[in-house]
Chains A and B, each alone.
Chain A
Amino acid sequence: MTLSPVFINFTYIISAILFIYGLKMLGHPDTARRGNLLSAIGMFIAIVFTLFAQEIVRFEYIIGAMLAGAIIGALAARLVAMTSMPEMVALFNGSGGAASLLVGWAVLYDELLPSAGAVADGVLGTAGVAAGVSTFTLITVILSILIGGVTASGSVIAYAKLAEKMTSAAIVFSGQRIVNSLILLGIVVSAVMFTMDPAIGSTWFWVLLGLSLLLGVMAVIPIGGADMPVVISLLNSYSGLAACAAGFAIENNLLIVAGSTVGAAGIILTNIMCKAMNRSLANVLFSGFGAVKQASKVEGEVKPINVDDAYLILESASSVVFVPGYGMAVAQAQHVVRELGELLEKNGCEVNFAIHPVAGRMPGHMNVLLAEANVPYEQLVEMDDINPRLPNTDVAIVIGANDVVNPAAREDENSPIYGMPIINVDHARTVFVLKRSMGSGFSGVDNPLFFGENTRMLFGDAKQSIAGLVAAFKS
Chain B
Amino acid sequence: MEAVFLSFILMLSIFLGFELISKVPATLHTPLMSGANAISGITVLGALIAAGQEHAAAATWLGAVAVMFATINVVGGYMVTDRMLGMFKKKDKGGAA
Contacts and interface: CB of A to CB of B under 8 A. Distances in A.
A251 interface: yes
A254 B27 CA distance: 29
A27 B31 CA distance: 9
A279 to B, nearest CB: 18
Interface string A253-273: 111111111111111110010
Contacts of B63: 61, 102-103, 106
Given A39-B39, A55-B52, A89 B34 contact: yes
Interface in B1-60: 2-3, 6, 9-10, 13-18, 20-56, 58-60
A377 interface: yes
A102 B39 CA distance: 17
Interface string A327-371: 000000000000000100110000000010100001111011001
Interface stretch (A76-84, A173-181, A215-223, A463-471): A76-84
A5 B37 CA distance: 27
A64, A69, A367 — which one has the most chain B CB atoms within 10 A of its CB? Answer: A69
Nearest to A245: B43
A312 B63 CA distance: 64
A400 interface: no
Contact of A100 (B43, B55, B90): B43
A26 B35 contact: yes
Given A77-B76, A96-B73, A119-B55, A29 B60 contact: no
Contact of B70 (A99, A252, A364): A99
Contact of B84 (A58, A85, A256, A346): A85
A107 interface: yes
Contact of B59 (A51, A106, A251, A364): A106
Nearest to A258: B42
A163 interface: no
B2 to A, nearest CB: 6
Interface in B61-97: 61-92, 95-97
Interface residues of A, number: 122
Interface string A81-112: 01001001100110110111011011111100
Interface in A58-77: 58-59, 61-62, 64-66, 68-70, 72-74, 76-77
A43 B38 contact: yes
Instruction: Say whether chain B's binding surface is mostly helix, strand, loop, or mixed.
Output: helix
B57 to A, nearest CB: 9
A259 B68 contact: no
A342 B60 CA distance: 57
Contact of B91 (A246, A264, A376): A376
Interface stretch (A236-244, A291-299, A318-326, A390-398): A236-244
A23 B39 contact: yes
Contact of B33 (A20, A51, A364): A364
Contact of B54 (A57, A82, A93, A113): A57
B32 A269 contact: yes
A22 B65 CA distance: 28
Nearest to B74: A43
A286 interface: no
B20 A261 contact: yes
22 contacts: A27-B24, A27-B32, A28-B25, A32-B88, A33-B88, A50-B48, A56-B53, A70-B71, A78-B79, A100-B46, A106-B46, A110-B56, A136-B3, A246-B43, A248-B6, A251-B2, A251-B6, A261-B36, A264-B17, A376-B89, A377-B90, A382-B25
Interface of A: 19-20, 22-24, 26-29, 32-33, 35-37, 39-40, 43, 46-47, 50-51, 53, 55-59, 61-62, 64-66, 68-70, 72-74, 76-78, 80, 82, 85, 88-89, 92-93, 95-96, 98-100, 102-103, 105-110, 113, 115-116, 118-119, 124, 126, 136, 232-233, 236, 239-240, 242-244, 246-269, 272, 342, 345-346, 355, 357, 362-365, 367-368, 371-372, 374, 376-380, 382
Given A88-B76, A89-B34, A118-B55, 7 more contacts: A55-B53, A89-B80, A92-B76, A99-B47, A110-B53, A259-B43, A268-B17
